[in-house]
Amino acid sequence: MGYLNNIKHLEDADKKYVWHPFTQMKGWIEEKPIIIAEGRDCFVKDAYGKWYLDGVSSIWVSIHGHRKKEIDNAIKEQLDKIAHSTILGLANIPSIKLAERLINLTDKSFAGLSPKLSKVFYSDNGSTAVEVALKMAFQYWIRKRVNGKHSFLSLKNAYHGDTIGAVSVGGIDIFHDVFRPLLFKTSKAPSPYCYRCEFGKTPLECSFACLKELKNILEKHSRKIAALIIEPVVQAAGGMIVWPEGYLKGVRELCNKYNVLLIADEVATGFGRTGRMFACEHENVIPDIMCLSKGITNGYMPLAATITTDEVYNAFLGEFKDLKTFFHGHSYTGNPLACAAAIAFIDVFEKEETLKNIQPKIALLEDRLKEIADLPNVGDVRNKGLIAGIELVKNKSTKEPYPWEEKMGWKVACKAREEGVLIRPLGNVVVIMPPLSISIENLNRLMDVIKEAIIAVTNN
């Protein structure tokens, strides 16, 4: 009885003291919260002892699953040495070793391509990685003495984080509109969202109308644009929008033609999620700046890396009096515990041949998505690797969406939760992003539960 009273205290204290992100708290305080107490492999356990399959990798960060022995041990070993030491004017061993490993990974992924990614700048999360990239790109042109390149180009339906710079290059109105007065001005190009094509065309007839519009913007405004920022291949928070083949390569060619830096936000797509180590690999595209976070420590510690080329890095070199220094940093930049976790994460990734072993899982996921695509209220299914989205619609023939306030995605998630599966939707899009270590058996179970939840909710 005392144990149950303690849980009740936690529930009450949560509602009294904690403000949850991306959560309407009025609804939250009226419901019974799930309080996670433990994790193991692809499962998490709540305070009452119920286990759930973690269908979204604890918001896309857990790749090898929970309580991975090798990462646990790496953190414990580092903790016996030092937990934190700044790299502002100093260095620490794990941050050096990790930077070398990250550059080796990019060398292998982008072999034969140029320019080579060669320098790592650390920060704390996806948003800060993007902030670093934006400021780096902006200051690069100043250091190169190229006047006027003070703005950015991004895509509609883009999500690059929640800090002000990241929101400025975002393109999801429901998240970002309220902050409009705080944001710097950016240009927005059409998203390659084929299911809901902005130009009303089908993939067979479009001839990349969205890419042509991107070209028009660059043609008119490239003298003012410092960089184009993209989420390569999959626009994740925008609704798991999977790009048509060839679009990414076209983007790289346009950036080259119009002398605009290309920033690839691989926060959600990096480290195997799309079936390759980095999403840019699918079309042999190397960005000028690449942002990494989420899976980089397997969800153990906050860490991010913004990786760039010698060309960008060298523009900041000069005498102390020249004030060419990149004036940006964070207290926890290059945190030794986080870097140790990331090194162990990469070790496991290579030792367990993660990229090779997810290929049968991708095939299974695609087969199961084909089944779900036939359901009456499923408008579109899309995936790249083990990232997938199922778009629910009120009318399949007209593509009429369910009204936002009907919370259809959330109703499916709640139904799945009853069956011991945790997922988190994006509006009417049911998101699938399990740990890459998920077994075939558990992946089948995940898809069974999602399918039955969609049937149950839409039939009602």
Q: How confident is the model at residue 110 (pLDDT cuts 50, 70, 90)?
A: very high
Nearest in space to 234 (alpha carbons), one of 191, 196, 271: 191
Percent of the chain past pLDDT 90, that is, above it, reads 94
Tokens at residue 300, please?
């153990």
In the predicted structure, residue 100 carries a pLDDT above the cut 70: yes
3-state secondary structure of 283: helix
The confidence score (pLDDT) of residue 207 equals 83
Write the CA distances from 415 to 72, 353, 403, 406, 412, integer angstroms: 33, 34, 19, 15, 5
Phi and psi for 2 in degrees, rounded to 5? -60, -35
User: Is the pLDDT reported for residue 388 higher than 60?
Assistant: yes
Beta bridge partners of 122: 305
The CATH classification number of 76-351 equals: 3.40.640.10
pLDDT, tens only, 291-330 = 999 999 999 999 999 999 999 999 999 999 988 999 999 9
Extents of the domains making up the chain: 34-64+355-459, 76-351
Please give the average per-residue pLDDT across 127-151, as a whole number. 96
At 205, is the pLDDT very low, low, confident or very high (cuts 50, 70, 90)? confident
- Quick one: CATH architecture of 34-64+355-459? Alpha-Beta Complex (3.90)
- Round to whole Å and give the CA distance between 374 and 381: 10
pLDDT (average), residues 215-243: 97
- For residue 234, give the nearest of 157, 170, 295 by alpha carbon: 157
Mean pLDDT of 134-153: 96
Mean pLDDT for the chain overall: 96
**Residues 47-60 pLDDT 10s:** 999 999 999 999 99
Rounded to 10 deg, the angle between the 336-351 and 93-109 helix axes is 40
Per-residue pLDDT band at 199 (split at 50, 70, 90): very high
Query: What are 405-427's pLDDT values in tens digits?
Result: 999 999 999 999 999 999 999 99
Residue-level pLDDT at 206: 85
Q: Is the pLDDT of residue 3 over 80?
A: no
Q: How far apart are the first and last CA of the chain?
A: 38
Token digits of residue 283? 């079309």
pLDDT band at 440 (very low <50, low <70, confident <90, very high): very high
